[in-house]
Amino acid sequence: MIGILKKVFDVNQRQIKRMQKTVEQIDALESSIKPLTDEQLKGKTLEFKERLTKGETVDDLLPEAFAVVREAATRVLGMRPYGVQLMGGIALHEGNISEMKTGEGKTLTSTLPVYLNALTGKGVHVVTVNEYLAQRDANEMGQLHEFLGLTVGINLNHMSREEKQEAYAADITYSTNNELGFDYLRDNMVLYKEQCVQRPLHFAIIDEVDSILVDEARTPLIISGQAQKSTELYMFANAFVRTLENEKEYSFDVKTKNVMLTEDGITKAEKAFHIENLFDLKHVALLHHINQALRAHVVMHRDTDYVVQEGEIVIVDQFTGRLMKGRRYSEGLHQAIEAKEGVEIQNESMTLATITFQNYFRMYEKLSGMTGTAKTEEEEFRNIYNMNVIVIPTNKPIIRDDRADLIFKSMEGKFNAVVEDIVNRHKQGQPVLVGTVAIETSELISKMLTRKGVRHNILNAKNHAREADIIAEAGMKGAVTIATNMAGRGTDIKLGDDVKIFGLAVIGTERHESRRIDNQLRGRAGRQGDPGVTQFYLSMEDELMRRFGTDNMKAMMDRLGMDDSQPIESKMVSRAVESAQKRVEGNNYDARKQLLQYDDVLRQQREVIYKQRQEVMESENLRGIIEGMMKSTVERAVALHTQEEIEEDWNIKGLVDYLNTNLLQEGDIKEEELRRLAPEEMSEPIIAKLIERYNDKEKLMPEEQMREFEKVVVFRVVDTKWTEHIDAMDHLREGIHLRAYGQIDPLREYQMEGFAMFESMVASIEEEISRYIMKAEIEQNLERQEVVQGEAVHPSSDGEEAKKKPVVKGDQVGRNDLCKCGSGKKYKNCCGIVQ
């Protein structure tokens, strides 16, 4: 093990040594760059661009370009990048991840590769986790780039299409990851190429890369449209679930967070809804609603997983602790929570377009990222994104004191000790940052501190608006700040002059399931060689300890007669915690890897559809493409009606009826004409007749109008079929794991069936376009229209893949109508009884 670690460390050292040589080259250029006037320094940008056109590469320009940026940063920002920042910039330019500790100046580091790669004119995207950071960095670092003659754009959620086009046309664009992904999806739903906003994806630098490519990797971006769906089933399922008793009528597994009805629960449901068998196929919808209501009541907790704000359910991001407005859980879970909390139930949505961050960012020609904590996920970055993690040395040695965990028997004992520690440090004037993993924990500590008379700030998803102000005050004398899940990431805690001796004290109230998040919390203290101390307080009742901790530790504490006020400081416990975290990280990585394998099936299909859509949009004349579709449609129809070996069994009448109904006019093709021909010869006269009719149609209107008519038809059919296909693929994905029984690989089954469904969709698209072109009456005032108005939402944030049921369109149910649950009974005698 030590040998492997040494080898890994040596690889990093070799990279640092190699980059050190480049840093020396940059330093050597300083004497020639420093004397330049501002105008001459700006002129370097034009010179570099010309040299690129003459055959030099960005790699050739690196030392000189970095030297120019360093000098410009000194003049414009009053900040001169250190040697370690130049190293970080080189690693980013090479498409790697620079691991730089908190306070080492990642934002300034990014300006070096951003400038160098922007010289190509292909556009550079700087990606941040929220709009506040995007605006801050664009304003501050934008001054530097504009001084050097480059254009800077910022891409925000509320912007108009024209503003977004301008932002993307700039040499450098600052944006959030969400907005980039949504713009990509929207660009592939537009009907005119002038409506596209993005250019081809060239180079991106992701700030807090672990947050975006690891924590949010399993969260798909979804553009969804409203689907009409009765909300009553949610109400009935909610009312029923409220009557259930734990362990007797449902079971809950804390480790897997899996909840299900027991035999007693199933019997109770069958009685309540007056049905014989809950698992009958016709009760699929009812069972789904009951399961989601169970999850809403048992798995999802108010003020931990979500908050209720202004009559709406708002999801809390489990990694950042921020509120995620506009995001909704998919598969009806959000509606089930709305029913549970008694707020208005909103309609379920249908997916029009979807992509995961994993697949979006893999489309960039070159990708890099920076963060303070990436080494623990190095394998994932290398295998999935082909990026190496390079640990950049700190500018000054770290002198922070990371203390061993203190473990208490109960939560009560732990929180009492935490508050006592805060009070003592507060009296000395030492600033304290308290890290919690849930909003309710932060509120509990807040109440305890208030009782002790300690003034403090709370930083969680509920007061996210004041985030920057609270963080700015967090390093002042005697400041106490309680932060949930690293809220405030991306903003430095700078120490007041009068507390430099103590430094910041960071107190963790429990371990996160990921070591990386714990390391981020520790990293808030001891920036830039400052002093600091970090201490985690744990209890045997913490979630991580309950899920993976050993019961014999608690038994040992009982045997020793330890009370709540006595902590143990044990390496055994610390090792157990770390191995539990490694296990969770391993499970999460496997889940993300598996998601990617499944998502790759849809990715390949999406690329085919989007590429063809692009070709349609840019093409002046689609007639050739449509004739090809007609040919395929005819050949399929002929093959379908002439499958039998004996000629007498061929269904020629059925073929002619199909052609008359879908493509030609009555009498265009007669049965006797086709009976004389072999199947492979039949297509020819049919296609000839189709082209003749196509020509007749063209004569009826100006060519321009005919060409637009073709585009209207193609877009309408392709977009409708594609959204239906996405839903069908989701449905397939949801049921595929059931096939794991009987030595069948569910992934392989999904790939095969997904491919068959895609081929079937393509055939359906070709047939429908052919039918519309040949049979539709052409209107004079043609206009391309979106199939459904879509809006950007996040379907899921509980770390699980988003899955959706195919959308069922339906109106409100009348008392005498058939019940929606599929029982075959009238509504008033079925689900309508459960009030």
Q: Are residues 648 and 706 in the same domain?
A: yes
User: Whole-angstrom Cα distance, residue 636 to residue 105?
Assistant: 63
Greatest mean pLDDT among 465-474, 559-568, 682-691 lies in 682-691
Asked whether residue 426 falls in the same domain as residue 499, the answer is yes
Mean pLDDT of 230-250: 87
Percent of the chain scored above 70 by pLDDT? Answer: 84
Are residues 448 and 384 both part of a single domain?
no
Residue 575 confidence (pLDDT):
80
- CA geometry: angle at 706 spanning 702 and 710, to 5°? 170
Of 152-161, 379-388, 478-487, 752-761, least confident by mean pLDDT is 478-487
| pLDDT(462) > 70 | no
Measured distance CA(827)–CA(819) in Å, rounded = 4
| Cα distance between residue 786 and residue 427, in whole Å | 63
* CATH assignment at residue 786: 1.10.3060.10
Q: Work out the percent of the chain whose per-residue pLDDT is above 90.
A: 43
Q: Find tokens 């473990």 and name the residue.
A: 407
Distances (CA, A) of 268 to 598, 634, 830, 833: 37, 55, 15, 15
Question: What digits encode the pLDDT tens for the residues 374-396?
Answer: 888 888 999 999 999 999 998 88
Asked if residue 96 has pLDDT above 90, the reply is yes
Q: Residue 32: which pLDDT band, with cuts at 50, 70 and 90?
A: very high
> Is 107 among the annotated ligand-binding positions?
yes
In a domain, 576, yes or no: no
Q: Which of 546, 570, 594 is the last residue of a domain?
A: 570
If asked whether residues 454 and 363 sit together in one domain, one would say: no
pLDDT score, position 78: 94
**According to the annotation, is 835 in a ligand binding site?**
no
The stretch 615-624 carries a mean pLDDT of 91
Judged by average pLDDT, the poorest of 138-152, 455-469, 514-528 is 455-469
What gap in Å lies between CA 405 and CA 572, rounded to an integer?
11
* Whether 239 and 327 share a structural domain: yes
Look up residue 89 and give its two tokens. Answer: 């910039």
85 is in an annotated binding site: yes
Residues 746 and 630 in one domain: yes
User: Is residue 585 situated within a structural domain?
Assistant: no
Residue 444 has pLDDT above 70, yes or no: yes
463 pLDDT higher than 80: no
pLDDT at res. 165? 97
Q: Tell me what pLDDT residue 723 has.
A: 85
Q: What are phi and psi of 476, to 5 degrees?
A: -80, 165
Residue with tokens 């990606």: 127
Q: What is the mean pLDDT of residues 407-433?
A: 92
Whole-Å CA distances, 597 to 173, 358, 359, 727, 747: 31, 11, 11, 18, 8
Residues 827 and 784 in one domain: no
Is it the case that residue 773 has pLDDT exceeding 90?
no
| Domain shared by 232 and 218, yes or no | no
Q: Mean pLDDT across the stretch 792-816?
A: 41
- Give me the pLDDT at residue 3, please: 54
Say if 140 falls within a structural domain.
yes
Q: Is residue 142 included in any domain, yes or no?
A: yes
Residue 276 known to bind ligand: no
pLDDT at 230: 59
105 is in an annotated binding site: yes
Q: What whole-number distance in Å separates Cα of residue 490 and Cα of residue 210?
A: 13
In this structure, the answer to whether residues 144 and 115 fall within a common structural domain is yes
Q: What is the CATH number of the domain that holds 330?
A: 3.90.1440.10
7: three-class secondary structure by DSSP: helix
* End position of a domain, from candidates 551, 570, 589: 570
**103 is an annotated ligand-binding site residue:** yes
Number of residues that make up the chain: 835
Alpha-helical segments (H) within 619-702: 623-641, 652-662, 671-675, 679-699
Domain membership flag for residue 768: yes
- Looking at the structure, tell me whether residues 192 and 93 fall in a common domain: yes
**613 inside domain:** no
CA distance 792 to 183: 9
Domain that holds residue 414: 401-570
Name residue 536's beta-bridge partners. 508
Q: Which residue reads 């008359």 in tokens?
A: 660
Q: What is the pTM of this model?
A: 0.75
Rounded to the nearest integer, the mean pLDDT of the chain is: 84
Q: Report how far residue 123's alpha carbon sits from residue 816's, in angstroms, rounded to the nearest whole number.
A: 61
pLDDT value of residue 306: 93
CB atoms within 10 A of CB 579: 11
Q: What is the pLDDT of residue 830?
A: 55
Single residue among 506, 537, 570 that ends a domain in this structure = 570
Query: What pLDDT, on a 0 to 100 scale, did the predictor assign at position 565?
Result: 73
Tell me if 3 is assigned to a ligand binding site. no
At 557 the pLDDT is 64
Sort strands 258-261 and 250-253 into parallel, antiparallel or unpaired. Answer: antiparallel
One domain, residues 260 and 292: yes
Do the beta carbons of residue 238 and residue 336 sit within 8 Å? yes
**DSSP assignment string, 398-444:** ---EEPPPEEESSHHHHHHHHHHHHHHHHHHT--EEEEESSHHHHHH
- CATH code, domain with 408: 3.40.50.300
Q: Is residue 455 part of a domain?
A: yes
Mean local confidence (pLDDT), 302-310: 91
Provide the pLDDT for residue 779: 55
User: Which own/partner pairs from 188-194 qualify as long-range (CB within 8 Å, at least 24 positions apart)?
Assistant: 188/353, 188/610, 188/613, 188/614, 189/223, 189/352, 189/353, 189/719, 189/786, 189/790, 190/617, 191/617, 191/711, 191/715, 191/784, 191/785, 191/786, 192/617, 192/784, 193/617, 193/618
Contacts of 373 (CB under 8 A, 6+ apart): 99, 210, 516, 519, 520, 523
Alpha-carbon span 470 to 646, nearest angstrom:
83
pLDDT computed for residue 156 by the predictor: 95
Per the structure, the count of domains in the chain is 4
Q: Edge-to-edge, what's the strand order for the sheet holding 791-793?
A: 349-356, 220-226, 791-793
Q: Which helix (H) or strand (E) holds 352?
A: strand 349-356
Do 627 and 766 reside in the same domain of the chain?
Answer: yes
The band of 228, judged by pLDDT with boundaries at 50, 70 and 90, is: very low
Whole-angstrom CA distances from 706 to 703, 717, 795 are 5, 17, 40
Residue 727 lies in a domain: yes
Least confident of 49-63, 420-434, 526-540: 526-540
